[in-house]
Amino acid sequence: MIDPTSGRITQAPAFTKGKNINPQWGSDGTLYFIADPDGIPNVYRMIVATSDVARVTSVSTGISGITSTSPAMSVASATGTITASVYDDGKYDIYEVAGDKPIELSNSTYAGALPPIQNRRSDVEALIADPRFGLPDAQQRYDSRPYRSGLHLEGLGQPTVAIGASRYGAALGGGISGYFSDMLGDRTLSAALELNSGFSNNFSFKNTAAQAAYINQSRRWNWGLVGGQIPYLSGGIEESLGVVSGEPAVVDQTIIYRQTERSAAALTQYPFSRSQRIELQGGVSQLSFDQIVDTQAYSLNTGQLMLDTSDDSSLARSLTLGTTSAALVFDTSTFGPTSPVQGTRYRLEAAPTFGSIAYMSVLADYRRYFMPASFYTLATRVMHYGRYGSGAEDPRFFPLFIGYPNLVRGYDMYSVTPDECGISKTTCPVFDRLIGSRMLVGNVEFRFPLLRPFRGVSGNMYGPIPVEAAFFVDGGVAWNKGDRPSLHDGAASAGAALRLNLLGFAVAQFDLVKPFQRPQRGWTFQFSLSPGF
């Protein structure tokens, strides 16, 4: 209200709740306006002298214009007749209202509230409002005892049993593993056992693989103990003609080379952050080298078995080695269903070894995963591993091999055929270029879910069984001390791959690969059980 004489401004005593719009003066100095204190806009009148307010209309759909604040009422200055706009039956109509019989304002329910009008307080709301619900009685006392960090079985690995038979005999094998932990997970124990036995009296404890590891993580300096025995077997077959007991015979030999490693070590690690840590390890290892030759001779005249022997002999003196290592590890990678999809990983490690042989192993493994677009990953890796020092190329060590499916694809050792080796009986250029005491491998891979290029599958990008497709380029070189490494003398390949997550048990990888350093081989199919690098 503005007093024209003094210029004094005062606020009309309308409603403090809701809107107050469209003021109109009546013929007797009464002020009419539209307000919605109960959620429904209606016409109200105010006697300015006494500030009394009364409702004039009671329309359930409300007095309204086209918008919520549009003018919706007009008052005739001479007669005091009120006209108002009302939305009813899908259209706007104008009504006249007699202003001499006002409707007194009553305390009605707020029409803007959601139904039901009378809300019943819910049980959940009542429970939330009770701060002591679910708490024990403050007066009740409970027995307590110190925490005991005993180990309990957390889970068993999938037990396996295998039975096999061939022309060289039958065999039985199996294994089991277990994981133990305390209640807080500060102390863990992992143990695994695998037995392999032949039915033809050739069982040997050296064929048994067993390993146990105890880790204590109750402090920031983690420490642990690990030990066990692991046999590494390789070999082949040989057939020749000979004379047995003065009779011509066919002599079949199965030759198995076995390297058995027994080791025990202590380790500790200190995390600088959630992604970076340092690892230290020291221990002792013993390596033994054996040869098992099974010989069978059949008469050329009668076909009868004339000879069946098995000879187990030592190939070289056992090695006793003191082992140490120090490594800097970093890992921020995110692993997808079959391989890492983004982040960075690296491991820099030096491992001096002394005792029967003195040498140092060096590992530098750097991996980077770029995601230029969602669910598309460009994976890169550069890895060097080598043995250095006076004993780095001791003949009792197996040479390093870069043709494994997780290094350079297309050069698996079992895929090399005699015609690729030429006429030489002692060398095979295709295979020899893949071995050495040092190696350098590089990989580039573009990977994505198999369904990613198709529209409308973003909700289930990997499908019911996660499948990843990839295009790759692999390359590597292996060399010995005194050689000058050259990529021209190495191996390279390119191709496409599919990886399947087999319900969490393993990752199956199918490769269609073109090895460039095998001129007699075209595109090669390769299968392996391994996740992407």
Written in H, E and C, the secondary structure of 397-444 is CCCEECCCCCCCCCCCHHHCCHHHHCCCCCCCHHHHCCEECEEEEEEE
80 is in which domain, residue-wise? 1-112
Q: List Cβ neighbours of 476 (8 Å cut-off, separation of 6 or more).
A: 402, 407, 408, 439, 440, 441, 442, 490, 491, 492
Report which DSSP code applies to 387: E
First-to-last C-alpha distance (Å) of the chain: 80
Domain boundary among 71, 90, 112: 112
Does residue 121 lie within any of the structural domains? no
φ, ψ dihedrals at 459, nearest 5°: -70, -25
Task: Tell me what percent of the residues of the chain surpass a pLDDT of 90.
Answer: 41
Report which DSSP code applies to 80: -
- Binned at pLDDT 50, 70 and 90, residue 107 comes out as very low
Does residue 380 lie within any of the structural domains? yes
Separation CA 43–CA 61 (nearest Å): 13
Does residue 440 lie within any of the structural domains? yes
Note the pLDDT tens digit of each residue in 123-156.
888 888 888 888 888 788 888 888 888 899 999 9
Residue 4, SS3 per DSSP: coil
Prediction pTM value: 0.64
Domain boundary among 87, 112, 137: 112
The tokens for 8 are 């004094």
Domain boundary among 61, 91, 112: 112
The reported pLDDT for the residue numbered 238 is 84
* Domains of the chain: total: 2
Average pLDDT over residues 281-293: 91
The reported pLDDT for the residue numbered 457 is 55
Does residue 224 lie within any of the structural domains? no
Does residue 199 lie within any of the structural domains? no
Q: Are the CB atoms for 188 and 157 separated by under 8 Å?
A: no
Residue 100 pLDDT > 70: no
Note the pLDDT tens digit of each residue in 320-362.
999 999 999 999 999 999 999 999 999 999 999 999 899 999 9
Give the CATH number of the domain where residue 484 resides. 2.40.160.50
Q: How many CB atoms lie within 10 A of CB 321?
A: 19
Does residue 44 lie within any of the structural domains? yes
Residue 118 pLDDT > 60: yes
Does residue 134 lie within any of the structural domains? no
Average pLDDT over residues 461-466: 78
Mean pLDDT of the chain: 86
For 31-40, 108-117, 511-520, which range has the lowest pLDDT when averaged over its residues?
108-117
Separation CA 294–CA 307 (nearest Å): 10
The reported pLDDT for the residue numbered 494 is 97
Give the CATH number of the domain where residue 55 resides. 2.120.10.30
C-alpha dihedral over 128, 134, 135, 139, to 10 degrees? 120
Does residue 356 lie within any of the structural domains? yes
Beta bridge partners of 197: 172
For 104-113, 127-136, 329-338, 367-376, which range has the lowest pLDDT when averaged over its residues?
104-113
Average pLDDT over residues 506-520: 92
The tokens for 449 are 């879910």
Residue 159 pLDDT > 50: yes
